[in-house]
Amino acid sequence: MKIAMVGSGYVGLVSGACFADFGHDVVCIDKDETKIERLRAGMMPIFEPGLGELVAQNVRGGRLSFSTDLPSAIEDAQAIFIAVGTPSRRGDGHADLSYVYAVAQEVAESLKNPAVIVTKSTVPVGTGDEVERIIRESGTSTKFAVVSNPEFLREGAAITDFKRPDRIVIGAEDEWARTVMTEVYRPLFLNRAPILFTSRRSSELIKYAANAFLATKITFINEMADLCEKVGADVQDVSRGIGLDNRIGSKFLHAGPSYGGSCFPKDTLALLKTAEDFNSPVRIVEAVVKTNDTRKRAMGRKVIEALAEAGAGEPRGKKIALLGLTFKPNTDDMRDAPSIAIVQALLDAGADVVAYDPEGMELAAPMMPEVTMARNAYEAVTGADAIVLVTEWDAFRGIDLQRIRQLAAQPVLVDLRNVYNPDEVRSAGFHYTSIGRP
């Protein structure tokens, strides 16, 4: 089956490479010529474990290619995916759909053979209707259908998530479109991955509801962590104690510095906008967005308090070492990373900030020019008055605690991801602060 993937960013590239790996014939399209040239040369625009090899294998197998020429690339495709960005619109948080609609227009003008047009980009309810209208009004006489097929990939685990999904959601309004989509996902069908067929609008909403629910779960446990600190309870135990209830589930109950990334912050805001447009309040999600935002700077204050509690003094002129900058491990993505607000709070308090991140420093450096980037974790902590673990990269989990204690100027360790064992850290000589633990 021939598939065209319009947009070779994170979602488009991972999906395109995985579809090719299923045996389909895939062209990934992008307007950015440099990106396409680099992809042809085997260079990935993002850091995602396993992606480079998967792309290379499928290019070698003749199933995956790259192009800037949309009209010829979509010509004999039976499924044309729209996987371009839908960033938050400045000012009102609404998803900016201009890229999606521009692709719809371009597809409409070049459509020569029957095709199902699939929105994979995260788009608000009703976008599919608008895409259909744009194509219909272009006057095309070619048969087409517009389908919603949201992605649920996690950065850092995207390939596994694509190949072993919890579910595939397909919002289609007609039988032919459902048949074509079944063929697209046939390899997964055979693996018994649950495929849920819904209306297009339900499918569009499922994506936002899923992300808003997960953001709520994280924010809930983060507030429980704050409460644990006040009442002398341990959030790790509370998490486990509630998570073992099957109705609650143990995942996404890990307290931390706040959620970030390319999806949760943007999608929760877009859901608020949809709710406002349809005059149907989603007050829980409103509270989640506000609580998560406030938490980011509160984490900066937490570090400052830890210095004071350890008797290490005021933050002014102190050297603070951050381990990890990306919004989570195994990605170089800095979008809405809590580290950005933490750095700002520390700089505002007069501290000098040094940081090390295994993959994120290239993107982080221009966002935080005052921060000194170190070559490794041990260099970062040398002479530090406080060490703050911000992102739980594996490399930091196994760090030599005795060694960093010797390298640091003062014994202050703030663990915003609860990765260390409090007893071990204390026996290494640290004054240890974590999240929601006594």
Q: Which residues bind ligand UDX (CB under 6 A)?
A: 151-155, 211, 214, 218, 252-254, 256, 259-264, 327-328
Q: Please identify, using beta-carbon distances, which residue of 11 and 184 lies nearer to ligand UDX.
A: 11
CB of 214 to ligand UDX, least distance (A): 6
Measured from the CB atom, the residue of 100 and 111 that comes closer to ligand UDX is 100
* Closest C-alpha to 320, from 398, 404, 212, 409: 409
Closer to ligand UDX by Cβ: residue 156 or 315: 156
Identity of the residue, 256 or 360, whose beta carbon is nearer to ligand UDX in the bound complex = 256
Q: What's the min distance (Å) between Cβ of 417 and ligand UDX?
A: 8
User: Nearest distance from residue 20's CB to ligand UDX, in Å?
Assistant: 21
- Least Å distance between CB 179 and ligand UDX? 26
CA 61 to each of CA 57, 144, 383: distance values in angstroms, whole numbers, following the listed order = 6, 30, 52
Least Å distance, CB 97 to ligand UDX, is 18
Give 168 or 407: the residue with its C-beta nearer to ligand UDX. 168
**Main-chain phi, psi angles of 323, to 5 degrees:** -100, 110
The answer to whether residue 263 is catalytic is: yes
Which residue, judged by CB position, is nearest to ligand UDX in the bound state?
Answer: 263
- State the minimum distance, in angstroms, from the CB of residue 306 to ligand UDX: 20
Both tokens assigned to 300: 């900066």
- In the bound complex, what is the minimum distance in angstroms from residue 328's beta carbon to ligand UDX? 4
Q: What strands lie across the sheet with 64-67, from one edge to the other?
A: 64-67, 25-29, 2-6, 79-82, 115-119, 144-148, 168-171, 195-198
Q: 12 vs 260, which CB is nearer to ligand UDX?
A: 260
Please identify, using beta-carbon distances, which residue of 108 and 435 lies nearer to ligand UDX. 435
CB of 221 to ligand UDX, least distance (A): 7
- 243-272 exposure pattern, b = at least 16 Cβ within 10 A, e = fewer: beeeeeeeebbbbbbbbbbbbbbbbbbbbb
Q: Of 18, 28, 228, 263, which residue is the catalytic one?
A: 263
HEC states along the chain?
A: CEEEEECCCHHHHHHHHHHHHCCCEEEEECCCHHHHHHHHCCCCCCCCCCHHHHHHHHHHCCCEEEECCHHHHHCCCCEEEECCCCCECCCCCCECCHHHHHHHHHHHHHCCCCEEEEECCCCCCCHHHHHHHHHHHCCCCCCEEEEECCCCCCCCCHHHHHHCCCCEEEECCCHHHHHHHHHHCHHHHHCCCCEEEECHHHHHHHHHHHHHHHHHHHHHHHHHHHHHHHHCCCHHHHHHHHHCCCCCCCCCCCCCCCCCCCCHHHHHHHHHHHHHHCCCCCHHHHHHHHHHHHHHHHHHHHHHHHHHHCCCCCCCCCEEEEECCCCCCCCCCCCCCHHHHHHHHHHHCCCEEEEECCCCHHHHHHHCCCCEECCCHHHHHCCCCEEEECCCCHHHHCCCHHHHHHHCCCCEEEECCCCCCHHHHHHCCCEEECCCCC
**Closer residue to ligand UDX, CB minimum distance, 50 or 61:** 50
Give catalytic residues, as residue numbers: 263
